[in-house]
Amino acid sequence: MTPALLASQLFHESGFKTIRKEATSWANAQGPAQFVPGTWATWGRDEDGNGDNSPWDIGDAVMAQGRMMCSLLRDAKRSGYGGDPRALALAGYNAGWGAVDAYHGVPPRSFARGETYDYVQEILRDIPRFEGPGGLRVSGSGSGPDALRRAATQLGVPYSWGGGEPSGPTTGFCDGINGYLNGSCSASVTAGFDCSSLVQYAYWPSLQLPRVASDQYGATSHHPVSRSDLRPGDLLFWSHGGAGSIYHVAFYAGDGNVLQAPRTGRNVEILPISQAMPEGDYFGATRP
């Protein structure tokens, strides 16, 4: 368990809110870590010594959250169920360990209208957001690892459709479909990268790749790489169907993860390949 995991969980529970009106759920879950009274009675303590043992006290709530998650992680590791123990623990926090036992893992989307399934996926996806820049260690030498290191310096930089160039982040533009956030053209006022400009920036100037993802595939497709042979700095592509419909590119970052500029409203991030884009859209990988 890491501070970034707890921070991502706390964000998805309440958005870090401590106001009663804003952080009380329909099920009477209360405070920033969303404890129902019965669960708080088990885990809650006056951790900050201010004389108030309360789920609304951020100092008390976060420590109670951590203790409960530690207990659930122990349950996950002892259970023998497959999958990421963090996912099992998060599912237990959201739905109760009985639900994890019932399904021998994270409950599927059919359980509770997908609430628990989505809760787990979203928290794990957003962990890099709370780790801060510089969290990636890249081993090896050569153009791929060097490009990945350069890309990693941009972790946390906003996504901007059409933004970014070999010299760094720039504002982008909207094209009638892309670049909008909450009805406004976010790209035109956001300095950042889109997926392919980040790749171009990272490989420049030693390798001057084209600007868009489909052209980057065309420029590197002479050296395809199987998913089982990926190395840090390789490029992964996603498509709606064929090389002419490639819509996304990301770096392989090692350990089954990618580094990418995902979409409007998000930042340059690291997360598992399976969570980067729809799994069925994965098209292939190349080694520039």
How much is the average pLDDT of 53-68? Answer: 93
* Cβ(221)–Cβ(208) below 8 Å: no
Q: How far apart are CA 6 and CA 198, in angstroms?
A: 29
Chain segment 211-243, per-residue pLDDT in tens? 999 999 999 999 999 999 999 999 999 999 999
Task: Return the structure tokens found at 259.
Answer: 């580094």
pLDDT in tens, 246-285: 999 999 999 899 999 999 999 999 999 989 999 999 999 9
Task: Work out the pLDDT band at 135, boundaries 50, 70, 90.
Answer: low
The pLDDT value given to residue 196: 98
Domains annotated for the chain, with CATH where assigned, are: 3-130 (1.10.530.10), 143-286 (3.90.1720.10)
Q: Residue 156: pLDDT band by 50, 70, 90 thresholds?
A: confident
What mean pLDDT do residues 38-67 have?
Answer: 92
Over residues 188-199, the pLDDT tens digits come to: 988 899 999 999
User: What would the mean pLDDT of 22-36 be, rounded to a whole number?
Assistant: 91
Model pTM above 0.85: no
Residue 111 above 60 pLDDT?
Answer: yes
What's the rounded Cα separation, in Å, for the pair 80 and 105?
Answer: 9
Gyration radius of the chain's alpha carbons? 21
Please tell me what DSSP assigns to residue 249: E
Note the pLDDT of residue 138: 84
Please report the sign of the dihedral spanned by the C-alpha atoms of residue 117, residue 122, residue 127, residue 130: negative
